[in-house]
Structure 1
């Protein structure tokens, strides 16, 4: 079994206590960001498998705790433990994923090319999941740049 498929099973288990309706929405977002990250990573020449894994884990803290307060940094710690416990990544891969998760909520700041893929995947999923909702102010500039990059 591939690492991403294994990780999906682990995340399902991590979120098993969630209300079923909320869990469905959570999994849809995690899968959506994972897919967007794969597409953007391939387009930009980044590691699509690792970014798909980061997408699957990026909001794990918010969904486990029900709070978005400092969820990026808390999620990075949870992701590190999951990756370590299940031996899904080596130390360098873990570091890349954990840093991207820690930075994913800093949409107004520029980080590494790897980190930027996760941020952009999160924005794309937010926008395209519900076209009736306005783009969040902190995501507007990033969304416009993505539209230009992908000629949308």
Structure 2
């Protein structure tokens, strides 16, 4: 089994424990959506698409499991590290890269490492393109506009 497939199986099992069916569906849609988008962006930007996909699968797992978004990026990075170490899927350097991206993914106004930026961008794409009738969040607008330009998307 591939590393990504093994991680997805783990995440699926974690999400299956959620009681609220609507939240469970929303969580799966978001995590898989960000994972896919991260894969595409990584291919375009010349980054490791498997690590990007893994970061996408884990980036909000803490929030969904805990039921809170308070400090979810920072807390989520620790949870992701524990999962990756438990499953023994990644090297220490790969784990550090994934966890850094998760740790910084909510800092949409700051610029961090290329993998960190990739996860932020994948998250913004998933947030913004899921429902184009909703306004883009103020903290995501500049990044959304830059992504539309990068991807040559006219709205």
- Scaled to the shorter chain, the TM-score interval is over 0.9
TM-score (norm 2): 0.96
TM-score (norm 1): 0.98
Partner of 1:135: 136
RMSD of aligned Cα (Å): 0.6
Q: By how many angstroms is 1:16 displaced? A: 2.3
Unaligned stretches of 5+ residues in structure 1 = none
Partner of 2:11: 11
SS of 2:16's partner is coil
Partner of 2:85: 84
Query: Aligned residues, how many?
Result: 152
Matches within 5 A, 1:1-152: 1-18=1-18, 19-152=20-153
Post-superposition CA distance 1:58-115 (Å, at most 9, x none): 0011100110000001100000000000001010000000000000000000000111
Q: C-alpha separation between the residues in 1 aligned to 2:140 and 2:90?
A: 30
Unaligned stretches of 5+ residues in structure 2 = none
Q: By how many angstroms is 1:17 displaced? A: 2.1
User: 4+ residue runs of structure 1 moved beyond 4 angstroms?
Assistant: none
SS of 1:15's partner is helix
Q: By how many angstroms is 1:21 displaced? A: 1.6
Q: C-alpha separation between the residues in 1 aligned to 2:145 and 2:80?
A: 30
Q: C-alpha separation between the residues in 1 aligned to 2:22 and 2:89?
A: 29
SS of 1:133's partner is coil
Q: C-alpha separation between the residues in 2 aligned to 1:137 and 1:39?
A: 25
Q: By how many angstroms is 1:122 displaced? A: 0.1
